[in-house]
Amino acid sequence: MGKFPPSFRSAISSTSLIKNAPSQQQQQPHYFPKKLTKKNSPKPHETQTPPPHKSLFKTSSLNEAKSLFNSFISTTKAPLLDNLRLHNSFLQSYTSISTLDDSISLLDHMVKTLPSLSPDRSTYHVLLSQSCREPDSSLSSAQKVLNLMVNKGFKPNQFTVDVAIRSLCSAGRVDDAILLIKEFSSKHSKPDTFTYNFLVKCLCKSRIFNSVYSFIDEMKSSFDIKPDLVTYTILIDNVCNAKNIREADRLVAVLKECGLKPDAFLYNTIMKGYCLLNKGIEAVRIYKQMKEEGVEPDLVTYNTLIFGLSKCGRVGEAKKLLKIMVESGHFPDAVTYTSLMNGMCREGDVLGAASLLEEMELKGCSPNSCTYNTLLHGFCKGRMLNKGVELYGVIKKGGMKLETASYATFVRALCREGRVAEAYEVFDYAVESKSLTDVAAYTTLESTLKWLKKAREQGLAV
């Protein structure tokens, strides 16, 4: 107990647990569309202008870009020329391959040759995002664009902050991002919660927690920007991944003090933390607390709980929970069933797990490669090799990948029965389907065969 097959780990991390992360972004639907129209080239016009934007510029030479623009405006019809987005995307494709100074000169040229063109905020955002992506280690280029913007009468606003911070973070310049966000908060406009949370998330990835806390404190004390529920969810998620559940408890207490009410995402994150530490009972406690506070559990809640309970050997409770889940109107998915199967296989009830596979297919939930790997692992551990071989046939037919643990267990089980040729065949499939690296697949095969040879010499194996 305690350990669980890697096949299973990926099921959880890829489906149920990570759902917490995107969910934070789902809360900002009104936000992204704006950004898209601002930064990217508009789709409808691309159909009208045949040259694809990416291959528009072959060199970063300014003169060529200018002449290309000239020929472009002389060949394009009038109504299209008034469209600022088209010009923005033209500028953007040039900035992506050239220097900032050249891009500014190109913009000047564009305005001069086409007087009807009046750059707006978004045009400068294009320049700003490029200047932040440049790998040079100072903020001077970003400041240059900002000065340019202010001179033209556009005061930087929340979107400007956001564009700059996201570009800086994607270039890995987190330090500069912190500097810039402070500068913005004191001079121009405060960042909105999305920008703030995005930066906190980036900080959590690259910094120790204390420096993240000090950043949050500083923003709170100097600019009155308070962390919200999403911020706390991000923090708790990172704390839990570092297996520091006590800190998570402390954070929950802090956020309650601030007058925030935990939602389902936050509870799911804490539950995940307990499950990682193998404390299924604690996760159930959180679940009860959640219900008491009137927070409606969702699919991820149930998946996390069933996973946690199966992991620490309380399959009975997990099964009960599955019933509750169905009664409350949630459809169990592949992750739910795979979690439960894993628990049953650990208990040695492989046949029960196999019948669960049938049940799940009956209910129209299609198993994924992880489900099969879990079962294959279970069959081999439970000494039901023939069933395992059958299942391997299904895996192979579906072109699914084998996972390290199930591959190793399967190869060992085959060799134990003296079916070496079949083990070689599995090795071939593992290499062919790129499930494992060649080296990993070979070392497993080699050490298994070495063990078999020794066992034969001692008269222990066939």
Partner 1 sequence: MLPQKMKKAITDNPKQLANLIDLVNLPSTLRDFVGQSQISHLGCFMRVWSYIKTNNLQDPNNKNVVNCDEKLKSILLGKQQVELVELPALIKLHFPKQKNMYFMSFITFEIVTHSI
Give residues in contact with partner 1 (CB under 8 A): 3, 404-405, 408, 412, 415, 418-422, 424, 431, 437-440, 442-447, 449-450, 452-453, 456
CB of 60 to partner 1, least distance (A): 40
Of 180, 179, 235, the residue nearest 202 (C-alpha): 235
Give the C-alpha distances (Å, rounded to integers) separating 460 from 419, 444, 447, 453.
15, 20, 17, 10
Nearer to partner 1, 97 or 420 (CB): 420
Nearer to partner 1, 179 or 449 (CB): 449
CB of 381 to partner 1, least distance (A): 12
Q: Which residues make Cβ contacts (< 8 Å) with residue 263, sequence separation at least 6?
A: 229, 295
Nearer to partner 1, 223 or 442 (CB): 442
CB of 345 to partner 1, least distance (A): 15
Q: Which residues make Cβ contacts (< 8 Å) with residue 273, sequence separation at least 6?
A: 236, 239, 240, 241, 243, 245, 248
CB of 389 to partner 1, least distance (A): 14
CB of 452 to partner 1, least distance (A): 6
Provide the 3-class DSSP secondary structure of residue 446: helix
Nearest 5 degrees, angle CA 379-CA 382-CA 383? 85
Joined together, the tokens standing for residue 291 give: 């219900």
Positive or negative: CA dihedral 368, 372, 373, 374: positive
Nearer to partner 1, 131 or 448 (CB): 448
DSSP 73-97: HHHS-HHHHT-HHHHHHHHHHHHTT
CB of 391 to partner 1, least distance (A): 20
Nearer to partner 1, 64 or 428 (CB): 428
Do you know the residue count of the chain? 462
CB of 377 to partner 1, least distance (A): 11
CB of 442 to partner 1, least distance (A): 6
CB 197 within 8 A of CB 165: no
34 burial via Cβ count (<10 Å: 0-12, 13-18, 19+): exposed
Give the C-alpha distances (Å, rounded to integers) separating 15 from 19, 298, 369.
6, 14, 13
Nearer to partner 1, 8 or 232 (CB): 8
Nearer to partner 1, 385 or 415 (CB): 415
CB 287 within 8 A of CB 255: no
Nearer to partner 1, 296 or 438 (CB): 438
CB of 421 to partner 1, least distance (A): 4
CB of 434 to partner 1, least distance (A): 14
Nearer to partner 1, 400 or 445 (CB): 445
User: Cα 421 vs. chain centroid, distance in angstroms?
Assistant: 40
Instruction: Tell me how far apart the alpha carbons of residues 142 and 157 are, in angstroms, rounded to a whole number.
Output: 15
DSSP 256-321: HHTT----HHHHHHHHHHHHHTT-HHHHHHHHHHHHHTTPPP-HHHHHHHHHHHHHTT-HHHHHHH
Nearer to partner 1, 120 or 438 (CB): 438
CB of 215 to partner 1, least distance (A): 35
Nearer to partner 1, 161 or 370 (CB): 370
Of 156, 91, 158, 160, the residue nearest 119 (C-alpha): 91
CB of 449 to partner 1, least distance (A): 5
Give the CA dihedral 103, 135, 227, 23, nearest 10 degrees: 80
Nearer to partner 1, 110 or 345 (CB): 345
